Amino acid sequence: MPDTPVPDDRLDSWKEIAAYLRRDITTVQRWEKREGMPVRRHLHDKLGSVYAFRSELDTWARSRNLGGAKEAEDSGVDAPSTTIAAPSPQRVASRAGVWTSAVAILVLFIALIGVWARRNTEYFWHNPIADARFQRVTDWDGAEQAATISRDGRLVAFESNHDGQMDVWITDVKTSHPYNRTNGRAGEIVNPALRTLSFSPDSALVTFWTRRPAGSEKSVIGVWAVPVLGGEPQMYLEGAAEFDWSGDGSQIVYHTTAVGDPTFIRTAGPGAKDRLIYTVKEGTHAHFQIWSPDRAFIYFVQGEVLENEVRNADIWRIKPDGGPAERITFHNSRVTHPVFVDDRTLLYLATDPDGSGPWLYSLDVNHRIPHRLSSGAESYTSLAASGDGHRLVLTLARPKGTLWRVPIAEDPVDATQGTAVSLTTGRGFSPRLGPDGLLYVSSAGAGASIWKIVDGTSTELWSGAGTRMVGGPEIDRAGRRVAFSVEQRGQTLLYVMNVDGTQARVITSALSLLGTPAWHPSGDSITSSALVNGSPRLFRIALDGTAAQLGSHYAINPAWSTDGRFVVYSGPDIGTSFTLNAVTSAGAPYALPQLTLTRGARRVRFIEQGRALVVARGSIAHKDLWRVDLETGAERQLTRLSPDFNIHDFDVSQDGRELVLERIQDRSDVVMLEIPRR
């Protein structure tokens, strides 16, 4: 085992590393991404600060024949000295001819190298959808999503609520006449964090992810199938979350819902055994597995799944025999639905660092330089390709978000008993009820902002250019201050300001923050989740910026009890659910009634002086609010909302009499792009 490098051996910046290797900074950063150069990143530093050791760089450089010049320079050996006689005129003429030929050969060689380099770089890159023909597959008022296409490019399947509930629909691209193939028999089929629909290799079946009830607070997840021509749904791949067939139909890759999303390879035919090839750590997910056209790699998306979205994610690949995974992209954002359109061209969806999108991207898997293909304001939520890559189907999304105020009563209330909040910004997120008004977040292309509505008048309290809100804001118990986290230029900042927007200041920039922060009831500190070695942990942060870790478990979206004795938080997603847990102010475990919730329900609020919690219960796509008694575990439904009223966030007034809801209405269509053959 090699000795640990001594401290004097260390280089502490890109500039020092580049100077040591006698290359420019851009070149060494490219080497670090593509050539496995031994560079380490500083813990918790999201600004790109790095360090490396000279001894490791020397070994790496020698393995790539990069260190010869420096080694000769450092050796101190002089070049040998020789005496050369003057050549004759005949020899001079002969040498001139040789040199002329050599120069010509060298010029030709350089030209060939130039052509090779251009062909093997992005010089000849072209937009794969530049001349594509656009065709609308659906044009209904509701939500169509999770579109997929058969290998032969003839059939398109998608999920739609056109008949009231979400069902699996199929249409022939020539006739454009959709048919409902599940008619309410599929159970829960919506899951934005997965590729939920697919066709069998022979296009006889369309498969779909589903979650079906199997007892109290339990569910059975698996892949089912329904015949394209109609019939009863049947089990297709028990216990699997999603899968992909190899191009020749001989193997299948799939992952289950166990911790770490274990990925397996199965060979077609009787008696085949499943072979585990990859598992990620708790709290991280590996989704959207696909085979490369040559079957040399499995490509997949690795990242976190929070509030129904894949975040802090990128595309990775692994060999079918297993081994270490290799990172292909560096978006560190929401990345989904990778598909191949030829042997080297990978298309996928990804958001910008500010959260805008998702946009359509193209990537040559050899060069790994991403190109954004979509423009304007359109964003997509699903992507699939035919077997030859000449037809793409996408879901074009037009979500509508509104805020609603509804009362809390003895019986469940619906939207007709509430009122929509009029917003001057067009759309609002993360509503919060204060003693004298309503706060909410607005987001535009320039960044995020916080607004306040008092007696119908809207006022902007804070805005930040190039920022993205992390979670939502939180008002302290006294109603005087607001805490919120934002991401800006790759760094997360925790802010505190007065509830009127004055005296905004950064409390800390030293933590990689996640989720919504929570005020301690005393008002002397803020608790937030932050990454530690890639996993979220709770930190209690004093107003002077000093922070102390609170507990050692996976924890996000904390909420303090009204007396400050314990803090509730949500654990990691296992499949599509997670548990609520709690620790005391000293970090010791605190017993709660067993509470298992569905993904997208991490927001919880204390009411009735801490005797009860308000939580969101239901499916991934639709939830209602419930009151949970913390002593008895008894539950009472507070809302009974229509299927198209999806709660994305909520808050409760301090007197426990009113709710404010962020409603998301999905409006989307399926479109097809036909790429001409070249």
Query: Could you give the C-alpha distances from 115 to 102, 119, 120, 369, in angstroms and in order?
Result: 20, 6, 9, 19
Q: Could you give the percent of the chain with pLDDT greater than 90?
A: 53
Q: What is the token pair recorded at 379? A: 């964003």
Q: Is the pLDDT of residue 235 over 60?
A: yes
pLDDT of residue 102: 64
Among 73-77, 90-94, 287-291, 627-631, the minimum mean pLDDT is found in: 73-77
Q: What is the token pair recorded at 152? A: 């032969």
Cβ neighbours for 358, distance < 8 A, ≥ 6 positions apart: 334, 336, 349, 350, 351, 379, 380, 381
Mean of pLDDT values over 651-659: 93
Residue 675: how many other CB atoms lie within 10 Å = 20
pLDDT band at 398 (very low <50, low <70, confident <90, very high): confident
Q: Can you say how many angstroms the Cα of residue 602 is from the centroid of all Cα atoms in its chain?
A: 17
Q: Between 44 and 432, whose confidence is greater?
A: 432
Widest distance between CA atoms in the chain? 113
Q: Is the pLDDT of residue 18 over 90?
A: no
Residue 56: enclosing H or E segment and its boundaries? helix 54-63
pLDDT of residue 443: 82
Q: Between 349 and 61, whose confidence is greater?
A: 349
Q: What is the C-alpha to C-alpha distance for residues 192 and 185, in angstroms, rounded to an integer? A: 20
Backbone angles phi, psi at 150, to 5 degrees: -70, 165
Q: Is the pLDDT of residue 543 over 80?
A: yes
In sequence order, the β-bridge partners of residue 506 are 495
Q: What is the token pair recorded at 557? A: 């979206």
pLDDT of residue 38: 83
* Average pLDDT, rounded, for the chain: 85
DSSP 466: T
pLDDT of residue 178: 93
Q: What is the C-alpha to C-alpha distance for residues 236 and 179, in angstroms, rounded to an integer? A: 21
pLDDT of residue 49: 73
pLDDT band at 625 (very low <50, low <70, confident <90, very high): very high
Mean of pLDDT values over 87-110: 57
Mean of pLDDT values over 614-630: 93
Q: Is the pLDDT of residue 151 over 80?
A: yes
Backbone angles phi, psi at 665, to 5 degrees: -110, 120
pLDDT band at 466 (very low <50, low <70, confident <90, very high): confident
Q: What is the C-alpha to C-alpha distance for residues 569 and 581, in angstroms, rounded to an integer? A: 6
Backbone angles phi, psi at 104, to 5 degrees: -60, -45
What is the three-class DSSP state of 78? coil
Q: What is the token pair recorded at 74? A: 């450092």
The domain segmentation of the chain, as residue ranges, is 1-71, 143-238, 400-665
Q: Which of 183, 237, 251 is nearest to 205 (CA)?
A: 237
Q: Which residues of 514-549 are buried (b: 16+ CB within 10 A; e: fewer)?
A: bbbbbbbbeeebbbbbbbbeebbbbbbbeeeeebee
Among 146-150, 154-158, 162-166, the minimum mean pLDDT is found in: 162-166
What is the three-class DSSP state of 404? strand
Q: Is the pLDDT of residue 611 over 80?
A: yes
Backbone angles phi, psi at 531, to 5 degrees: -75, 135
Among 87-101, 250-264, 433-447, the minimum mean pLDDT is found in: 87-101
pLDDT of residue 131: 85
Query: Could you give the C-alpha distances from 179 to 70, 144, 235, 394, 504, in angstroms and in order?
Result: 69, 13, 21, 19, 55
Q: Between 201 and 47, whose confidence is greater?
A: 201
Q: Between 486 and 55, whose confidence is greater?
A: 486
pLDDT band at 377 (very low <50, low <70, confident <90, very high): low
Among 75-79, 126-130, 560-564, the minimum mean pLDDT is found in: 75-79
pLDDT of residue 113: 57
SS3 for 125-163 is CCCCCCCCEEEECCCCCCEEEEEEECCCCCEEEEEECCC
The number of helix segments (H) and strand segments (E) in the chain equals 5, 51
pLDDT of residue 99: 58
Cβ neighbours for 650, distance < 8 A, ≥ 6 positions apart: 431, 603, 605, 614, 616, 625, 659, 660, 661, 662
Mean of pLDDT values over 313-329: 95
Mean of pLDDT values over 32-39: 76
Residue 115: enclosing H or E segment and its boundaries? helix 89-119
Backbone angles phi, psi at 338, to 5 degrees: -70, 140
Domain pair 1-71 / 400-665, same fold: no
pLDDT of residue 216: 46
Look up the CATH superfamily of 400-665.
TolB, C-terminal domain (2.120.10.30)
Cβ neighbours for 458, distance < 8 A, ≥ 6 positions apart: 423, 424, 425, 451, 452
Q: Is the pLDDT of residue 559 over 90?
A: yes
**pLDDT by residue (tens digit) across 491-504?**
899 999 999 999 99
In sequence order, the β-bridge partners of residue 451 are 440, 460
pLDDT band at 158 (very low <50, low <70, confident <90, very high): very high
pLDDT of residue 43: 47
CA quadruple 148, 354, 284, 348: dihedral, nearest 10: 30
Q: What is the token pair recorded at 241? A: 């979350």
Q: What is the C-alpha to C-alpha distance for residues 202 and 9, in angstroms, rounded to an integer? A: 59
pLDDT of residue 479: 93
Q: Is the pLDDT of residue 78 over 80?
A: no
pLDDT band at 454 (very low <50, low <70, confident <90, very high): very high
**pLDDT by residue (tens digit) across 177-226?**
899 999 999 889 999 889 999 999 999 999 999 988 765 445 688 999 99
Q: What is the C-alpha to C-alpha distance for residues 396 and 385, in angstroms, rounded to an integer? A: 15
pLDDT of residue 9: 74
pLDDT of residue 75: 36
Among 134-143, 187-196, 381-390, the minimum mean pLDDT is found in: 134-143
pLDDT of residue 76: 37
Q: What is the C-alpha to C-alpha distance for residues 613 and 356, in angstroms, rounded to an integer? A: 33
Indicate if the alpha-carbon torsion angle 595, 404, 517, 259 is positive or negative.
Answer: positive
pLDDT band at 101 (very low <50, low <70, confident <90, very high): low
Radius of gyration of the chain (CA): 29
Q: In 520-641, where do the E strands start and end?
A: 525-532, 535-542, 547-549, 556-560, 566-570, 577-584, 596-598, 605-607, 612-618, 623-629, 635-637
Q: Between 649 and 15, whose confidence is greater?
A: 649
Mean of pLDDT values over 304-315: 77
pLDDT of residue 1: 40
pLDDT band at 7 (very low <50, low <70, confident <90, very high): very low
Mean of pLDDT values over 506-516: 93
Domain 1-71 of CATH type 3.40.50 = no
pLDDT of residue 20: 85
Q: Could you give the percent of the chain with pLDDT greater than 70?
A: 86
Q: What is the C-alpha to C-alpha distance for residues 529 and 304, in angstroms, rounded to an integer? A: 14
**pLDDT by residue (tens digit) across 322-346?**
999 999 999 988 899 999 999 999 9
How long, in residues, is the chain?
A: 678
Q: What is the C-alpha to C-alpha distance for residues 566 and 590, in angstroms, rounded to an integer? A: 7
Q: What is the C-alpha to C-alpha distance for residues 445 and 151, in angstroms, rounded to an integer? A: 37
